[in-house]
Copies of this chain bind each other. A is one copy, B any other.
Amino acid sequence: MQNKTRPHVVVIGAGFGGLRAARAVAKYADRVTLIDRTNHHTFQPLLYQVATAGLSPGEIAAPIRWIVRRDENIEVLLGEVRDFDLQRKVIKLSDMEIGYDYLIVGAGATHAYFGHDNWEPFAPGLKSLEDAVEMRRRILLTFELAERRAANGEGQMQLNFVVVGGGPTGVELAGTLAEITHKVLAHEFHSIDPKRTRIILLEGGPRVLPAFAEDMSQSAQKQLERLGVEVHTSALVTRIEPGAVYMGETRMPTAVTLWAAGVAASPLGKKLGAPVDRAGRVLVSPDLSIPGHPEVFVIGDLAALKDENGKWLPGVAPVAMQEGAAVAKNIRRDREGKPRRNFQYFDKGILATIGRAAGVGQIRKLHISGYPAWLAWLFVHIFFLIGFRNRILVLVQWAWSYITFERGARLITGSNKLPGWTELEKEQAPPVDAEHEFSASRRSAR
Chain A residues near B (Cβ < 8 Å): 37-40, 56-59, 61-63, 65-66, 69, 75-80, 82, 93-96, 129-130, 133, 140-141, 144-145, 147-148, 151-152, 187-191, 389-390, 393, 396-397, 400, 404, 406-416, 423-424, 426-428, 430-436, 438-439, 442-443, 446
- Chain B residue nearest to A408 in the complex (CB): B58
> Is the beta-carbon distance between B59 and A411 smaller than 8 angstroms?
no
Cα A37 to Cα B407 in complex, Å, equals 18
How far is B151's CA from A94's CA once the two chains are assembled, in angstroms?
A: 14
A438 to B192, CA, bound (A): 35
Chain B residues with CB under 8 A of A147 = 76-78
Identify A396's interface contact among B96, B396, B410, B411, CB under 8 A.
B396
Q: In chain B, what residue has the closest Cβ to A423?
A: B95
Closest 4 CB pairs of A and B: A58-B408, A94-B427, A56-B58, A78-B144
- Name the distance in Å between A216's Cβ and chain B's nearest Cβ: 33
Query: Do the beta carbons of A95 and B427 come within 8 Å of each other?
Result: yes
Q: Which residue from B78, B94, B406, B439 sits with its C-beta under 8 Å from A430? A: B439
Known: A58-B411, A435-B433. A82 touches B129 (CB 8 A): no
B-side contacts of A400, CB under 8 Å: 390, 393
The distance in angstroms between the C-alpha atoms of A189 and B75, with both chains bound, is: 8
Residue contact A431 to B442, C-beta cutoff 8 Å: yes
**Residue of chain B at shortest CB distance from A69:** B188
B427 adjacent to A80 (CB under 8 Å): yes
Kindly report which residue of chain B lies nearest to residue A388, judged by CB atoms. Answer: B407
Contacts A75-B191, A390-B400, A400-B390 given: A63-B407 contact, CB under 8 Å?
yes
Q: Can you spell out 10 A-B residue pairs with CB atoms less than 8 angstroms apart? A: A57-B58, A58-B406, A61-B411, A75-B190, A77-B151, A78-B416, A80-B428, A430-B439, A433-B442, A436-B439
Residues on B with beta carbons closer than 8 Å to the beta carbon of A423? 94-95
Are the CB atoms of B148 and A58 closer together than 8 Å? no
Give the residues in chain B near A62, CB-CB below 8 Å. 407-408
For A152, list chain B residues within 8 Å (CB). 95-96
9 additional contacts, CB 8 Å, given A95-B423, A432-B439? A39-B144, A57-B58, A58-B58, A78-B416, A82-B427, A94-B424, A129-B413, A130-B413, A396-B396
Contact partners of A409 in chain B: CB under 8 A: 58
Which of A66, A75, A82, A432 counts the most chain B CB atoms within 10 A?
A66
Candidates B59, B148, B190, B396; contact of A78 at CB < 8 Å = B148
Given A66-B410, A442-B432, are A37 and B77 also a contact pair (CB < 8 Å)?
A: no
Let me know if B443 and A433 touch, CB within 8 A: yes
- Given contacts A408-B58, A411-B63, A439-B430, whether A148 and B446 have CB atoms under 8 Å apart is no
In the complex the two chains form, what is the Cα distance from A408 to B64 in whole Å? 11
Shortest distance in angstroms between A13's beta carbon and chain B's nearest beta carbon? 16
* Cα distance, A148 to B428, chains bound together (Å): 38
User: Which chain B residues lie closer than 8 Å to A66 at the CB level?
Assistant: 188, 407, 410
Q: Give, as a whole number of angstroms, the nearest-CB distance from A429 to chain B.
A: 10
Interchain nearest-CB distance for A33 vs B (Å): 8
In Å, the complex CA distance between A408 and B62 comes to 5
Q: Which residue of B lies closest to A442 (CB)?
A: B432
Given A390-B400, A443-B433, are A411 and B69 also a contact pair (CB < 8 Å)?
no
A336 to chain B minimum Cβ distance, whole angstroms, is 28
Given A38-B412, A96-B152, A152-B95, CB of A407 within 8 Å of CB of B389:
yes
